[in-house]
Amino acid sequence: MPTKGRGFYPVTDPVQNEVRRSGLTHGVAVLHLQHTSASLLIQENADPDVRVDLERFFERLVPDGDPRFTHTTEGADDMPAHVRTALTAVNLSIPFAHGRLALGVWQGIYLWEHRTRPHQRRMILHLMGE
C-alpha cells in the first residue's frame, strides 16, 4: 500500500474484509509488515489528537537529524525511522470470533509510516482458524 509520508494510515477495514472473505469464523489474524522503517500499531481510532500527540512525542524522543546517528544514507529521517520501528512493532496477532476481529471499541490498526517521503509498503496477512 502507498503512503504519503510520515503519519498514520488505517488498515482495520481491509484486514476485517479479508477475514470476512476467508469464510473463517474463529481464529487469529497475523499481520506482518515487511519493512524496518514503518510500524504496525493498535491505537485509539476516535480523537485524531491522540495520533498527533503520538507523532510529536516520537519526534522529540528520536529527533530527525540527530548528529549522533551515523547511518544517514537516506537522509535525516532514515535512522530515526529504524529506531521508531524498534520501539514499536512490525507484527501483530489479533484473534477473531464470529468473523469479526476481537478489537476493543476504541482500537484501530494503523500502518505508521516513519519516513517523511511517500513509500510503497507491503503487509502480509495470514489467517489461521476454522
Binding site for a copy of itself (CB under 8 A): 26-28, 30, 32-36, 41-44, 47, 49-50, 52-54, 56-57, 60-62, 68-71, 73, 79, 82-83, 85-95, 97, 102-107, 122, 124, 126, 128-129
Nearer to a copy of itself, 2 or 73 (CB): 73
Nearer to a copy of itself, 4 or 56 (CB): 56
Q: How far is the CB of 104 from a copy of itself (least distance, A)?
A: 3
Q: How far is the CB of 70 from a copy of itself (least distance, A)?
A: 5
Nearer to a copy of itself, 15 or 33 (CB): 33
Q: How far is the CB of 127 from a copy of itself (least distance, A)?
A: 10
Neighbours of 114 (CB within 10 A): 27
Q: How far is the CB of 5 from a copy of itself (least distance, A)?
A: 19
Per-residue H/E/C for the chain: CECCCCEEEECHHHHHHHHHHHCCCCEEEEEEECCCCEEEEEEECCCCHHHHHHHHHHHHHCCCCCCCCCCCCCCCCHHHHHHHHHHCCCEEEEEEECCEECCCCCEEEEEEECCCCCCECCEEEEEEEC
